[in-house]
């Protein structure tokens, strides 16, 4: 158990809909990272927040957004969902702000299915 929690575990929704994925980092970790893992795209880094502020950005679509709240939990919002958004979404957390310097601890993921 990494100490990172993600809810829900599974999510099934229809195209065009909007969903919110939630992540609680390990106690004491200030950074939260979001990743998408799909069969055709592989594992992709989406975005990182550190202590409430956006710190690094990867291949995140404009339809997707994220935020980190004062209690350090984070939410990933996915809107206007398409079939291709079906994937496993991971959250990870680390103590510091530099993703290269601090080990990231991954949550179990949320499996999103868009029908």
- Residues contributing to the site for another protein (CB under 8 A): 2, 4, 33, 42-45, 48, 55-58, 90, 92, 98-101, 103-104, 106-109
Decide: helix, strand or coil at residue 85: helix
Q: How far is the CB of 109 from another protein (least distance, A)?
A: 6
Cα 88 to Cα 109: distance, rounded to the nearest angstrom:
6
Q: Which of 27, 101 has the CB closer to another protein? A: 101
Q: Which residues contact 98 (CB under 8 A, 6 or more apart)?
A: none
Q: Which of 32, 92 has the CB closer to another protein? A: 92
The DSSP symbol for 27 reads: T
Tokens of 44: 């992709």
Cα 86 to Cα 77: distance, rounded to the nearest angstrom:
14
Q: Which of 12, 43 has the CB closer to another protein? A: 43
Q: Which of 64, 90 has the CB closer to another protein? A: 90
Cα 87 to Cα 90: distance, rounded to the nearest angstrom:
10
């Amino acid at each position: 158990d990494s100490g990172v929690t993600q809810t829900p575990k599974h999510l099934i929704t229809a195209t065009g809909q909007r969903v919110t994925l939630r992540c609680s980092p390990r106690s004491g970790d200030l950074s939260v990272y979001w990743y998408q893992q799909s069969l055709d795209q592989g594992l992709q880094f989406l975005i990182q927040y550190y202590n409430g502020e956006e710190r690094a950005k990867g291949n995140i679509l404009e339809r997707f957004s994220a935020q980190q709240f004062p209690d350090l939990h984070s939410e990933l919002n996915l809107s206007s969902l398409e079939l291709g958004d079906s994937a496993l979404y991971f959250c990870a957390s680390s103590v510091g702000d530099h993703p290269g310097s601090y080990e990231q601890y991954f949550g179990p993921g949320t499996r999103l299915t868009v029908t």
